[in-house]
Amino acid sequence: MSKENQKEENAVNESYRQKPKVAVYVCHCGGNISDVIDVKRVAAELSKYPNVAISREYAFMCSSTGQDFVVDDIKNNGINRVVIAACSPFLHELTFRGALNRAGLNPYLYEHVNIREQSSWVHKNDKEGATLKAISLVKAGVEKILRQDPLNSIRVEALHSVAVIGAGIAGLRAALSCAENGLDVTIIEKSDSIGGNLRRSGNIYPTGEKASSIPENLSKKVLSMKNVKIYTQAEISFVGGYVGNFQLNVKKSDGNFEKVKAGAIIVATGFNHYIPHEGEYGWKKSTFVLTLPQFNELLEQSAGSEIEIEGKKIKSVAFMHCVGSRQIDGIDKPGKNGKVNDYCSRICCTAIIHSANRLKEKFPYVDVFDIYTDMRTYGMHHEKYYKDASKNDVIFFRRPLEERPVVEIGSDSIKIKTKDVLTMNEEMEIEADVLVLGTGIVPNDISDLVEYLKLPRGSDSFLQEVHPKLRPVEVSNNGIFIAGTAQGPMDVMETLQAANTAAVKAAALLSSPDIPLDPFVAVVDEDKCTGCGLCLAECSYSGALTMMEKEVNGKKKKVAVVNPALCKGCGACVAVCEPRAINVAGWTLDQFDAMVEAIAKE
Amino acid sequence: MKVNTKFIKEVKKYGAFDISACFNCGNCTAVCPLSAEDVSFPRKMIRYAQVGAEKEIEASLEPWMCYYCGECSDTCPRQAYPGEFMMSLRRYLISKYDVTGISAFFYKFPWVQNLLTIAIFAVSLIFFLSYTGDFQELAEKIEMAFPAYVTLAIIAYVFMFYKKTIMDKAGKMLISFDFKNIWETLIHGLTQKNFSSCSDTDWTRWIAHLLVMSGYTLTLIISNLHLLEPLRIHYGLFDISTLLVFYATFAILAGGFVMMFRRVVKQVQSSSFSHSTDWLFVVMLFLIGLSTFATHTANMALGPDSDTVSILYKFNIAVEMAWIVIVVPFTKWIHIFFRPMAIYLRNLKKEKQLV
């Protein structure tokens, strides 16, 4: 533990050792709570509860005024434990821990009771019931905090190096930013070269440059950094360790293994273009049915006054949106994982429109049709592409979401039949020389990695961050960050932003010599532990629990030992321990007993 | 419905320059005070044009229901000028209903119509000035020939309009004898009361239109029935003819002046985009009013034998020649008939449940 942190924690006052004085605050949440729950009654009821010294209610506890109440009561009224009944702890638990910290009280002597999601929002039509439930929940909160020990964050040593998995633009950008922040970086790339999908994507919005120029530019910079090491054609065969001290087994191109050590890992495994099923919108049935990346390549290569395929002059092109995106169960054929892609791939609308405009600008004689579902040219100024496309005489058709256009391959042209919302739902028949499928984005298959790193994935197989707004690019596993299209469909700008975010988070995490971790981990009462080993069998985090010979009260004994850096505090071990020797700090069985007691008393 | 990309390019030749910008949001239709369920516009019409639904457009009464309030153009988020598009559709439809095909030619090459108008006027004037016989007699023959020529043109247009909008759809002739329908058609024709349907009634435009229409109709009756003989009769101030001429010419001049003025200052949508044919129309009307008025007042002051009266009268008849021969049967003029007729046909469609 660093000296500075030590000093900080010593400064925390020791008032919790005195007789407990609990302060209860009931938040109105600006009507979200108080419109249903009688907050005055809750506060009044709690003021009579044993050990509660102060009980208040206020419109917004999270406001600076609300927090000042807490700080003031701790500093001036001798409060040594705090219960706040408000929203979900997800939103403001950290806010109030900060307030306790400022007041000099151990931040874990605080209990956040959720009476919004768990009471006022779900019992809108039962005000009395909601109020009584809130009172019970707050009383349980008081009972819990009375039995709470002050906790200190766990600190682990940090290596000043990062492993970046994937060398697409997200990986390269993240690696570059980490390296620029003085961290040693190892890039591990599965394919034989760096740069990723963008090397073959034609011309891209919004700046309209050649897509390949972006990875080329990044590669050049990354290669010039002395503290970056790159393994291509490399595969990860195992990952061990924990935040600050990960070990990755890497199988290199020459077949030899290399152990890569890293304080943090950035996963930037990217995406693949959706590949249509044979026959899906005429795919593989004609050389005139192309995917958008294929068409973009053709468009970039075409020069002169005419665009041709196999010597045939192309006079009309139809673009089809949402191929492999926004699929519907029962209508679309599921992919290899047995699921349909029900998400929006986000970038295709703008990408298609961008290509349509480029086509019109390069070859104005071509008739262009655009069959979309919903036009989602989101993003700064991207609406302009859509507007320009209209002015370029692109003719749009909007198909209903459940409607699948029928593609008929003729000898001379392709016929597309679709219901069109814009033409009063009439069945339209579009004839075009070329059909371009706006294929969506699917995540790369990284099942092995998901297993090694215990990465959370959504139902769509993309990696999932803890919270897109509150904790972007973070996963629940400390020290692992995700960046780019492995997270979900993103355009180049968003990918680079995510990559930079991940790099900054990794750099911030590794900036001090040790890393603070949440203290909610398993704690073993060695007196009670019988060394049976049942807990070990239940633990799903390898290395978090081990059995060890130890001297306890002068006697040698086999006991369970927790590695706090690896323990996630899930409590699986607690459930199987008969002598109640193992507990999760901050969530002990005694606390649960008291809470249940308090609720059941009514 | 087969998509035809050529159609919109064709319509654009009639002035709908910006209509591709439309993304079919429907604000125009929502804000339009005249659009109704059975005659829905402008969005539906724009969409038909975008996908090239030529038949549907030709069978539409909607363009004639539009009075160009301009609210749609003001509201359009894409500056596609739906109001001007509806105007262009009217031009396009006149061309389509013109069996000779000359209107289409004039709309696309307006300078030809302008040149021909000037040429006919100039040739007639030179001929009239050099004519040594009894000009009053010649004028009588010319003016008596006008109704036959104009009637032929009107019949052809009205039949084509009826055929495309009703017969082609119903597969047979349909006629409504409903008195209410006939009455409503007459009222609309005479008062153009749909002008008051725009949410801010453009009184100036409405009154100018009414003045021009009534003044012009009167002139038409006076001249085509050859009621004036300024080279034979000396008219007094209180003669019925004088009163009629004064009203008619005042109405044309005042209304025509307002129309021209508005096309110059372009303060409202309806007069912001003038096609050459619009100008030809108002300028010629104005000249007819002016020359008729000048001839008549000169006659009153100087008598029928005056050379001035003779020259003015020849000028007057020469303008009428150009007007009747080149302007009336082609391009804009026929809208006078199409508007009330569209009201009649709309009611007919409702009555016969022709969807």
CATH for the stretch B6-97: 1.10.1060.10
Give the CA distances from residue B61 to residues A270, B206, B271, B312, in Å, rounded to whole numbers and listed in that order: 56, 21, 22, 42
Q: Which of B272, B220, B228, B225 is nearest to B251 (CA)?
A: B220
Between CA A271 and CA A281 the distance in angstroms is: 22
The residue of chain B with its CA nearest to that of A428 is B1
Q: Would you put residue A61 in left (φ > 0), alpha (ψ -120 to 50) or beta? A: alpha
Q: Is B20–A391 a contact, with Cβ atoms under 8 angstroms apart? A: yes
Residue A11 has pLDDT above 60, yes or no: no
User: What whole-number percentage of chain A has pLDDT above 90?
Assistant: 84
- Indicate the residue type of A323: V
Contacts of A422 in chain B (CB under 8 A): 24, 47
Instruction: Indicate the pairing of strand A367-372 with strand A395-398.
Output: parallel
Q: Would you put residue A140 in left (φ > 0), alpha (ψ -120 to 50) or beta? A: alpha
How far does B63 lie from chain A, in Å, by closest CA?
Answer: 18
Residue A4: pLDDT band with limits 50, 70, 90: very low
Residue A580 has pLDDT above 90, yes or no: yes
Contact A126, A481 (CB under 8 A): no
How far does A390 lie from chain B, in Å, by closest CA?
Answer: 5
Nearest to B22 among A390, A420, A426 (CB): A390
Label residues A346-369 b or e (16+ Cβ within 10 Å = b).
Answer: bbbbbbbbbbbbbbbeebeebbbb
Between CA A465 and CA A470 the distance in angstroms is: 10
Label residues A97-127 b or e (16+ Cβ within 10 Å = b).
Answer: bebbbebebbbbbbbbbbbbebbbbebeeee
The pLDDT of residue A602 is 65
Between CA B92 and CA B11 the distance in angstroms is: 6
Q: What is the pLDDT of residues A113-168, one digit of tens each?
A: 999 999 999 999 999 999 999 999 999 999 999 999 999 988 888 999 999 999 99
How far does B5 lie from chain A, in Å, by closest CA?
Answer: 7
A55 strand-pairing partners: A24
The arithmetic mean of pLDDT across residues A242-250, rounded, is 93
- Indicate the residue type of A523: V
By the 10 Å C-beta count (0-12 exposed, 13-18 middle, 19+ buried), A541 is classed as middle
The pLDDT of residue A14 is 62
CATH for the stretch A521-584: 3.30.70.20
Contacts of B6 in chain A (CB under 8 A): none
Q: What is the pLDDT of residues A486-497, one digit of tens each?
A: 999 999 999 999
Whether B48 has its CB under 8 Å from any CB of chain A: the answer is yes
Same fold, A161-270+444-511 and A274-440: yes
For chain A, the average pLDDT equals: 93
* From the candidate CATH numbers 3.50.50.60, 3.40.50.10860, 3.20.20.140, 3.40.50.720, the one assigned to the domain spanning A274-440: 3.50.50.60
Token pair 């905090």 is found at A145
How far does B343 lie from chain A, in Å, by closest CA?
Answer: 24
CATH superfamily of domain region A161-270+444-511: FAD/NAD(P)-binding domain (3.50.50.60)
Between CA A157 and CA B81 the distance in angstroms is: 68
Domain boundaries, chain A: 1-153, 161-270+444-511, 274-440, 521-584
Q: What is the pLDDT of residues A171-182, one digit of tens each?
A: 999 999 999 999
The residue of chain B with its CA nearest to that of A424 is B44
Residue A2 has pLDDT above 50, yes or no: no
Residue A596: pLDDT band with limits 50, 70, 90: very high
The arithmetic mean of pLDDT across residues A377-406, rounded, is 93
Whether B244 has its CB under 8 Å from any CB of chain A: the answer is no
Residue A18: pLDDT band with limits 50, 70, 90: confident
The verdict on ipTM greater than 0.90 is: no
Residue A87 has pLDDT above 60, yes or no: yes
CA neighbours closer than 13 Å in the CB half-sphere of residue A378: 12
- Indicate the residue type of A41: R
- Could you please report the per-residue DSSP string of A414-439? EEEEEEEGGGTTEEEEEEESEEEEEE
> Which residue numbers in chain B have pLDDT < 50?
none
The residue of chain B with its CA nearest to that of A391 is B21
Domain boundaries, chain B: 6-97, 102-351
Residue A13 has pLDDT above 70, yes or no: no
CATH fold of A1-153: Rossmann fold (3.40.50)
| Cis peptide bond upstream of B42, omega within 30 | yes
- Specify the pTM: 0.80
The arithmetic mean of pLDDT across residues A308-319, rounded, is 95
Residue A268: pLDDT band with limits 50, 70, 90: very high
Residue A420 has pLDDT above 80, yes or no: yes
- The alpha-carbon radius of gyration of chain B (Å, integer) is 22
Q: Is A391–B21 a contact, with Cβ atoms under 8 angstroms apart? A: yes
Give the CA dihedral A35, A41, A47, A49, nearest 10 degrees.
-110
